[in-house]
Amino acid sequence: MSASPRPVIVWFRSDLRLDDHPALSAAIKTGAPVIPLYILDDGIGGRWKRGAASRWWLAKSLEALASDISQRGGRLILRRGETISELRHVADEADASAIYFTREYEPATIALENQLNVSFSGGEILLKRYGGGLLREPEDLRTSSGGSYQVFTPFWRAFQSDLTVARVIAAPEKLEAPACSLTSDDIADWALLPVKPDWSGGLAEAWQPGARGAQDQLKTFVDDALNIYAKDRDRLDHFGTSRLSPHLAFGEISPAACWRAATSALREAGASERSTETFLKEIIWREFCYSLLFHFPDMPDEPLRKEFATLEWSKKSSDLKAWQTGKTGYPIVDAGMRELWATGYMHNRARMITASFLTKHLLLPWQLGEAWFWDTLVDADLANNSANWQWVAGCGADAAPYFRIFNPVLQGQKFDPDGDYVRRWVPELAGLPAPFIHAPWTADGPALKRASVVIGKSYPAPIVDHKAARSRALEAFEKLKRV
Ligand code: FAD
């Protein structure tokens, strides 16, 4: 009788799904029993440890993954501690022969993979690393001079030129659990849910974390909104985007699955070519941000354009507080910030408006906004967050020019023409008619009275004057050119 093979570990990280998972499918192909493992390592990430909204999502996503695994006969093992020692403990306890995992691209996770290689080199336990988190690996694309791309358009052209998107890897029907019994933590003991304040009610209402939620979201988007994506994606008052970002950030769905769903809608269901291309371009923006982070690991903390390090930012903490709590007196900014607090998400257009307001109108450092988003976004993603903050602030690789300063009133009128987005998130202004909703201080007395709005009391007066703030920002940014 032949001895049964030693089990293999599948170490889950930001890849909390069972389908389209190259590491898992390779592990299953060995024919050995599989130990699905997740390790909560509080020592990883430094300043960029998971934020509060992400921890909520992680808890829910792990519950979903554990349920998907148990339906297939397996068991997700949860351990808390230092990653390498926990991997070693579990491998020793189960006499595992290999650890299968998906590679990651953040400075801390890259450093961890390097340490792992050292720690397990020459030993009995094989390390097997796979892709799957991106459509193309960041090392794949090089400019003609051998460097990395820093501008999106050439990156996008090169990216598409010889792209092949791997075929679907179906989730395994069965997972054979190992014979040995392994202890597992109880996720409730990890205290991942917010306590003070507990704002998880709004998060739970807005989202369904987990692979099933991700697939449903993708299907709803492709069926209902892909066709109008190019037209509606900037409208704050419409549900015109996919809302897949947290699912992608936690790897509950692969970018390849999103790519295939959109391209097959184009080929087979006659989806709009322009809309499909616009959507695919956003998926490539994600890849671009990852490539930037991979090549510029300081990006979350340091401006890519070095002259920005000398900018004389404001230190006014009351302005930061007003921005965080959605009390700037500019309704479109406040609506975005309150949507973020209530749901852990903010529409992309509102992210651009609020980020521009923080860095230009308030002249506060982009890193402060980046940190607030990091803590409150369910889709907080180091590459996307830092690249986009730098882009809006003007200090990024392929950034918006510093003199592009959004006028929050005009942005509101353009992307929320009837004021429905503001009415939803800033209910104290709900009674104002559309012509005043984005600039309530311009409403006449009777209009304010009818809407029960008292500027400075029921809703704040603008904390800065647009024209004066714009001139101050331009002056500060102009100085940089002389550095
Ligand atoms: P869709 O419009 O449906 O796009 C599909 C997918 O493409 C998104 O899920 C996302 O993965 C990717 N994508 C879209 N826009 C961008 C972009 N500008 N950059 C990179 N990838 C993009 N996105 C995050 O995932 N995490 C963040 O922490 C994050 N922080 C941001 C901070 C600022 C200041 C700004 C301006 C943008 C930020 N974004 C971030 C990018 C973008 O706002 C979100 O990805 C998008 O709003 C998510 O909504 P959606 O899934 O409906 O997007």
**Does the CB atom of residue 280 touch ligand 1 within 6 A?**
no
Per-residue exposure over 421-448, b if at least 16 CB sit within 10 Å of its own CB, e if not: bbbbbbebbeebeeebbbbbbebeeebb
* Ligand 1 center from residue 166 Cα (angstroms): 23
| DSSP-derived secondary structure for 22-87 | HHHHHHHHTTS-EEEEEEE-TTSSGGGS--HHHHHHHHHHHHHHHHHHHHTT---EEEES-HHHHH
**Does the CB atom of residue 423 touch ligand 1 within 6 A?**
no
**Does the CB atom of residue 285 touch ligand 1 within 6 A?**
yes
**Does the CB atom of residue 190 touch ligand 1 within 6 A?**
no
Q: In this structure, which residue's CA is closest to atom 20 in ligand 1?
A: 286
Confirm whether pTM is higher than 0.95.
yes
Helix or strand or coil: residue 158?
A: helix
Q: Is the peptide bond before 303 cis (omega within 30 degrees of 0)?
A: no
Report the residue among 159, 282, 356, 364 best suited for mutation to probe ligand 1: largest number of ligand atoms under 8 A from its CB.
Answer: 282
Q: Give pLDDT tens digits along the chain (483 positions).
A: 456 799 999 999 999 999 999 999 999 999 999 999 999 999 998 899 999 999 999 999 999 999 999 999 999 999 999 999 999 999 999 999 999 999 999 999 999 999 999 999 988 999 999 999 999 999 999 998 999 999 999 999 999 998 999 888 999 999 988 788 899 999 999 999 988 767 788 899 999 999 999 999 999 999 999 999 999 999 999 989 999 999 999 999 999 999 999 999 998 888 899 999 999 999 999 999 999 999 999 999 999 999 899 999 999 999 999 999 999 999 999 999 999 999 999 999 999 999 999 999 999 999 999 999 999 999 999 999 999 999 999 998 777 777 789 999 999 999 999 999 999 999 999 999 999 999 999 999 999 999 999 999 999 999 999 999 999 999 998 888 655
Ligand 1, atom nearest to 369 Cα = 34
